[in-house]
Amino acid sequence: MIELGELVNLAIELGELAKLIIELCELTKLIIELCELTELTKLTIDLCELTKLTQLTIELCELTKLTKLTIELGELPKLTKLTIELSELTKLTKLTIKHEVDEIVTV
């Protein structure tokens, strides 16, 4: 687990990672690119505490073994731009995106 309290800019490059937990609090702009993590089977991205976030981009490409994906957005009161790119997730059987009290589930 990585805890990053006052960080405002972050870039992390992840190669053959199989499990990842990151907690971020004070970010205003976040880009998550998790491409070509071919061993990853389950992924949860929890952004519920990022109340200062204004721009969010999530790119998940070529995660060929990923079967379950959950993205929890919570309450993001300042969010003005959201981009989620999902391509070549060939084994994905469950996708859940949660925002505030709404939940979008795609199977």
Q: Where are the domains of the chain?
A: 2-7+16-106
- Segment 14-33 shows an average pLDDT of 68
Structure tokens at 107: 């199977």
Q: Is the pLDDT of residue 103 over 50?
A: yes
Q: Which residue has the tokens 């993205």?
A: 71
H helix intervals, 26-72: none
Confidence of residue 107 (pLDDT cuts 50, 70, 90): very low
Helix (H, G, I), strand (E, B) or coil at 3: strand
- Segment 33-58 shows an average pLDDT of 82
User: Which amino acid, one-letter code, is at 20?
Assistant: L
Confidence of residue 1 (pLDDT cuts 50, 70, 90): very low
Distance CA 70, CA 97 (A): 6
Q: Which of 18, 92, 30, 99 is nearest to 61 (CA)?
A: 92
